A and B are shown apart, each in its own frame.
Chain A
């Protein structure tokens, strides 16, 4: 890490530290009751407690697993359908109105149907995450492929490329940056939909931890779950961001 990067990362930490200090100050000043806003120390204690009982890893692992599997499935489908719609006007006329309509359905509206069809096991949660990850990927991929610079496509044709070789040498590389940002958006939305799934029907995971802490009046655990969701989301996004930057560095 260079000095500039280190300084930038440091600057990004200023606000969280300030928030933490403000939180501590408000909690100590007694503006809210301890049940409404426990001080940061208590949340840290809750973390220690969950770690000692060995529960936290289960929650983290199952949530991460659901997001990764769901994201993989949803983004693969998004790439395929988005590619189809972006490359073929015929596929676009047939598919896009329906996909746009399905996209308008709020995430929670799917939950009862998924539970009815798929039971209360892992499948409905993964499917919901996949639905969440699908749309951003689908939208960005289809738009990027449909709007490839026609001048470059013509260069490809003039130099004897067509079909798969045109796709591989012009269309796909031109759309790569958009595809990568679509994947990042899809991953973020996957986490969003995961919590929706876990809040409603689950016995494990960070969403369950949230709803369970509400039922047992453990605000400290609730805050912990929220912070963990923020950290995990940021972590997975950073990993994809690094992959994106590396790809950009080799192809730019």
Chain B
């Protein structure tokens, strides 16, 4: 499937637990063009992941509508594929069989089976795991497992790739490598990407736009909504040392409540 657009129209989510209702998201409006990479940034617990799960159909919106390629999401969305924060590979399957789990389901016979095997091989080599096809998840490192999870999602040929803090649990160096890998894959495939992250640098490095989520002024009891949308200048792939990005980083951190000593007042 080629990249598709995504529209969130006044989306809200209310959880009820023990008879009490808690609004997590309210009136979220966002539209993502086909092939665009959008990062959802916000403090932890602000509902970023919930928003992602609404797009994937893992949860149903309480109000508003989520539309993928113009069609409303109802139930698990076949045009989306999710990569979770943990690899969540099936421990009893080899890496290649885990990637095969992501293939769109169809009757597996003869030619189709052969094609499926070729696809699995392709995605494994895209994430650099061709030599580890027969390994079990427990035999590989966390970074490799997360690459396999990415391959599983890509094997689904998603119109929208949903990434839920996919690199948060990796060490700093592996995280940078995974970001470059993702940027490369996205460039090659042109997939629409919705990336949930709490890492400002990651958002600036990978995204075309950064959407800042946070408690809205008009929203009831602190439900999160879109606070601001920042266009990231320049084209991808970006230079991590870019000065313009550094200034943007300071601004975004300030919006998240983290004030850098060298913040804006020093450069009026």
Contact = CB atoms under 8 A, between A and B. Distances in A.
Interface of A: 151-152, 154-155, 157-160, 162, 165, 169-170, 173-174, 176, 251-252
Contacts of B105: 160, 165
A151 B86 contact: yes
Contact of B102 (A159, A162, A165, A252): A159
Interface in B96-136: 101-102, 104-105, 136
A71 to B, nearest CB: 26
B53 to A, nearest CB: 9
Interface in B194-240: none
B183 interface: no
Given A151-B84, A154-B58, A158-B56, A173 B76 contact: no
Contacts of A165: 105
Nearest to B102: A159
B105 to A, nearest CB: 6
Contacts of B78: 160
A158 B82 contact: yes
A159 B90 contact: no
Contacts of A169: 90, 101
A250 to B, nearest CB: 9
- The contact size tier of chain B is 10 to 19
A70 to B, nearest CB: 31
Given A151-B84, A169-B101, A252-B136, A158 B90 contact: no
Contacts of B104: 160
Contacts of B90: 152, 155, 169-170, 173
Chief secondary structure at chain B's binding surface = loop
9 A-B pairs with least C-beta separation: A251-B92, A158-B82, A155-B88, A173-B92, A151-B88, A157-B76, A159-B102, A160-B105, A159-B101
B86 A158 contact: no
B156 interface: yes
Interface of B: 56, 58, 76, 78, 81-82, 84, 86, 88, 90-92, 101-102, 104-105, 136, 152, 156
Contacts of B91: 252
Contacts, number: 41
Contacts of B102: 159
B88 A152 contact: yes
Contacts of A170: 90
13 contacts: A151-B84, A154-B58, A155-B90, A157-B58, A158-B58, A158-B81, A159-B101, A160-B76, A160-B105, A165-B105, A169-B90, A173-B90, A251-B92
Contacts of B101: 155, 159, 169
A250 B38 CA distance: 42
Contact of A252 (B86, B92, B152): B92
Nearest to A170: B90
A165 B101 CA distance: 12
Contacts of B136: 252
B76 to A, nearest CB: 6
